[in-house]
Amino acid sequence: MSITALLFRWREEPMIYALLQLNMGQQQTPNTIKWNWKLNPTVHLKSILKSTFILKLLCFYMNFAQQNQKIPNLSASTLLPKSNWKLYSDLMMAVKEDRIVCPLLWVVSFYCDDPNPIKFYLCYQTHCLNLDPSIIGMLYDRLGRSIPMRKLVGIVQFLYASSLLLHLVIVKQINVQLEIPNEVFALCFSSLAETIAQFKLLPFLVLFANLAPPGHINPMLQFAKRLRHKRIKITLAVTKFLFNTMQEFPDFVSMETISDGFDEGGRAHAGSLDEYLERFGRIGTKTLMELVEKLKNLDCAIDCIIFDPFLSWGFEVAKKSGLLGALFFTQSCAVDNIYYHVYTGKLKLPLSDSEIIIPGLPPLEPKDMPSVIYIHESHPAALKMLVNQVKHLGEADWTFVNSFYELEQEVIDSMAKFSSVKTIGPTIPSMYIDKQLPDDKEYGLSIFKPITDACKKWLNERTPRSVIYVSFGSLAELGLEQMEELAKGLKASNKYFLWVVRASEESKLPKNYAEETLENGLIVSWCPQLEVLAHDAVGCFITHCGWNSTLEALSLGVPMVAMPCWTDQSTNAKFVNDVWKTGIRTQPDEKGIVRNTEIVRCVEFVMDRDEGKEIRTNAIKWKEMAREAVDKGGSSDTNVDEFLSALMNPPI
């Protein structure tokens, strides 16, 4: 294996600050250079290649490596005139940083391995920086989109294979007989072969359109990261209001905005959910169409729209624009299946039976159904919105679900009768599960600021599996009485606890509760949940069983105490308790309140009792199965590859 191939496994994507410094001849800080590079990396790459100093340095490395097979110590006086000593000194200081030395060695080793400037430029651009060559992209956008992909790929492969035969021409010196010097022929041949080869990396663009809740956006972002890792360009479209309220922005996608008609205040400024959805559908359709046209005019034409099912009109936009339309469900397949049976009338409301039978699902009681179905008159607008998610199930070109096949095999096989469901989850940052994306350590978007350092420090001081972690997500709200019972239960458990109480919920805490429990408890307004769940000190997760939290606990092997609040959470809790058996579901009293004694019972069962050993064992089992699903060749990874193959090879 060549040096280059080995370094492909090791590469990172930082900026080569020192090279830019020398090339631009400016006194710039690393932060400034990083910012400039982000603005136009292609321009800086071209300028690097034009730099006489860089080429001399690379040639020096090449010659020395060929003779000694190792990298030498450099002497500034032998390489640089005195006028450049200051720049050289800055270079040596910068190179000491890991984020600089890694790509620097990549550049040097690649040049030693194959000293061809054209190859170096194109290979570094496409393989290391994940950039598509602008000229190739322009040619494809302008000339190639009308050609069926299967035919285009076949032509490219044939031309590339033919270009390799040109080696015979130079070996047999046929070019000399035609009065073409070897140097000229070699340069032309290399350029031709490399240009043709770049068509193997065609610039496909996927647009993600999403509604506001972060519980929907973060899974989409993680899916986008997987696609970006496989060389697909991503644009994320969110509402203007959400964009303006984001605490941080993902740096691996292009961000665009659409309007929901309430740009200043979002959903809160609408008189009702019905009014919000009606206006969003009308104005959102218009602004999404405008965005598609805008990108097309900028030579960034979209190939596929992946949309949140709440935005059912996203499918109409895709079809009117002649694009692929893909659904992305952020709920479990089980819940999607339930909504489908309600939408098609196969499950009648109100529920009249004490046991509900739906193909692919275990027998369900009414309390196991999503709350808008169980108490279907409680939130009619929400029921309509949730059920209408499945409107295009079976019509969409692709249907993605944030789950994994092994977790919901029976329901996925059952749904195959009316829709080809492709699971691509769990969509959590790669470093917590399969580690295929080494820099993927967080979601990249948050509407709350986590208290990270305090949480980590506090957990580091606790023994393994001794802490109860409590969080009810970004939206769920507990009533005052339920909040008091939970507080009493945590205090009575005599265990350490880390409790996330959002700022909007703090007033419901008992008076002086934080001070009274300071010895055993830590209460924060928000925390880095993945880091907490992955910490050895955490032995139990009291959760509302939102689907994201449920998947995170499953993927990190943490037993759960389920306290569902509304929508799909009761169905998730049913599966946690009875199907996957990775937790226990709390039992509320006749008033619907989970009492403090019940909380203590469930915590002790999961963390301490012998009867809870099966739960703790199953938690580890599902953790491993989740990792295998997203790892290379796993069920979810295979589904992503199938999508990419279909994107590149649409039906003729």
113-122, 190-199, 431-440: which is most confident: 431-440
25 or 534, greater pLDDT: 534
How far apart (Å, rounded) are the C-alpha atoms in residues 258 and 239? Answer: 5
Asked if pLDDT for residue 157 goes beyond 70, the answer is no
pLDDT at residue 433 in the model: 94
Same domain, 242 and 316: yes
Residue 505 forms part of a structural domain? yes
Same domain, 469 and 536: yes
Which range is least confidently modeled, 7-11, 133-137, 154-158, 575-579?
7-11
What the block records as the tokens of 64 is: 């020395």
Average pLDDT for the chain: 79
Average pLDDT over residues 141-149: 59
Which range is least confidently modeled, 43-52, 466-475, 628-637?
43-52
pLDDT at residue 164 in the model: 64
**pLDDT band with cut points at 50, 70 and 90 for residue 486:** very high
Phi-psi domain of 231 (left: phi exceeds 0; alpha: psi -120 through 50; beta: other): left
**Phi, then psi, of 377 in degrees rounded to 5:** -90, -5
Asked if pLDDT for residue 546 goes beyond 70, the answer is yes
Write the pLDDT tens digit of every residue in 336-350. 999 999 999 999 999
How far apart (Å, rounded) are the C-alpha atoms in residues 54 and 22? Answer: 8
Residue 579 forms part of a structural domain? yes
Residue 339 forms part of a structural domain? no
How far apart (Å, rounded) are the C-alpha atoms in residues 125 and 106? Answer: 12
Residue 560 forms part of a structural domain? yes
Same domain, 103 and 20: yes
Asked if pLDDT for residue 138 goes beyond 80, the answer is no
Same domain, 39 and 149: no
pLDDT at residue 287 in the model: 95
Average pLDDT over residues 173-189: 73
Q: Which residues contact 308 (CB under 8 A, 6 or more apart)?
A: 209, 210, 211, 216, 220, 314, 328, 330
Same domain, 609 and 513: yes
Average pLDDT over residues 494-520: 96
**pLDDT band with cut points at 50, 70 and 90 for residue 83:** very low
pLDDT at residue 95 in the model: 56
What CATH number is attached to the domain comprising 494? 3.40.50.2000
Residue 466 forms part of a structural domain? yes
Asked if pLDDT for residue 154 goes beyond 70, the answer is no
Residue 361 forms part of a structural domain? no
The domain total for the chain is 4
pLDDT at residue 41 in the model: 41
**pLDDT band with cut points at 50, 70 and 90 for residue 71:** very low
Average pLDDT over residues 514-534: 96
Write the pLDDT tens digit of every residue in 356-406. 999 999 999 999 999 999 887 778 888 998 999 999 998 999 999 999 999
Asked if pLDDT for residue 8 goes beyond 60, the answer is no
Long-range residue pairs from 427-432, CB within 8 A, at least 24 positions apart, any chain:
427/218, 427/219, 427/220, 427/222, 427/223, 427/226, 427/402, 427/551, 428/222, 428/530, 428/551, 428/552, 428/555, 429/222, 429/530, 430/225, 430/630, 432/530, 432/534, 432/555, 432/556
Average pLDDT over residues 178-200: 63
pLDDT at residue 189 in the model: 64
What the block records as the tokens of 380 is: 């009619």
Same domain, 526 and 469: yes
How far apart (Å, rounded) are the C-alpha atoms in residues 414 and 364? Answer: 16
pLDDT at residue 179 in the model: 77
Which range is least confidently modeled, 33-47, 267-281, 423-437?
33-47
Residue type, 267: R
pLDDT at residue 4 in the model: 35
Contact of 542 with 470, CB cutoff 8 Å:
yes
Among 77, 105, 131, the domain boundary falls at 131
Residue 444 forms part of a structural domain? no
Asked if pLDDT for residue 196 goes beyond 70, the answer is no
Asked if pLDDT for residue 96 goes beyond 50, the answer is yes
204-208, 434-438, 505-509: which is most confident: 505-509
Among 107, 131, 155, the domain boundary falls at 131
Which range is least confidently modeled, 38-52, 91-105, 542-556, 588-602?
38-52
DSSP type of residue 423: E
Contact of 70 with 3, CB cutoff 8 Å:
no
Same domain, 510 and 622: yes
Per-residue exposure over 66-86, b if at least 16 CB sit within 10 Å of its own CB, e if not: eeeeeeeebeeeeebeeeeee
2 or 402, greater pLDDT: 402
Same domain, 117 and 167: no
Contact of 562 with 543, CB cutoff 8 Å:
yes
567 or 470, greater pLDDT: 470
Rounded percentage of the chain residues whose pLDDT exceeds 70: 68
Write the pLDDT tens digit of every residue in 573-610. 999 999 999 999 999 999 999 999 999 999 999 999 99
- Per residue, the 3-state secondary structure of 337-396, as one string, reads HHHHHHHCCCCCCCCCCCCECCCCCCCECHHHCCHHHHCCCCCHHHHHHHHHHHHHCCCC
**Phi, then psi, of 400 in degrees rounded to 5:** -105, 145
Same domain, 257 and 175: no
Q: Which residues on adjacent β-strands are paired with residue 398?
A: 326
Write the pLDDT tens digit of every residue in 313-336. 999 999 999 999 999 999 999 999
pLDDT at residue 23 in the model: 35
Structural domain harbouring 174: 135-198
Helix (H) or strand (E) holding 419: none
Helix (H) or strand (E) holding 325: strand 324-329
61-65, 108-112, 458-462: which is most confident: 458-462
Among 90, 110, 131, the domain boundary falls at 131
**pLDDT band with cut points at 50, 70 and 90 for residue 178:** confident
Same domain, 281 and 397: yes
Same domain, 617 and 640: no
Specify the 3-state DSSP secondary structure of 452: helix
Q: Which residues contact 403 (CB under 8 A, 6 or more apart)?
A: 332, 333, 423, 425, 426, 551
Asked if pLDDT for residue 560 goes beyond 80, the answer is yes
Q: Which of 323, 331, 257 is nearest to 290 (CA)?
A: 257
Asked if pLDDT for residue 124 goes beyond 50, the answer is no
pLDDT at residue 108 in the model: 55
Q: Which residues on adjacent β-strands are paired with residue 500?
A: 524
Contact of 133 with 198, CB cutoff 8 Å:
yes
What the block records as the tokens of 31 is: 């932060």
Residue 353 forms part of a structural domain? no
Same domain, 418 and 538: no
pLDDT at residue 621 in the model: 98
Asked if pLDDT for residue 297 goes beyond 60, the answer is yes
142 or 470, greater pLDDT: 470
Q: How many CB atoms lie within 10 A of CB 571?
A: 27
Residues marked as catalytic: 216, 308
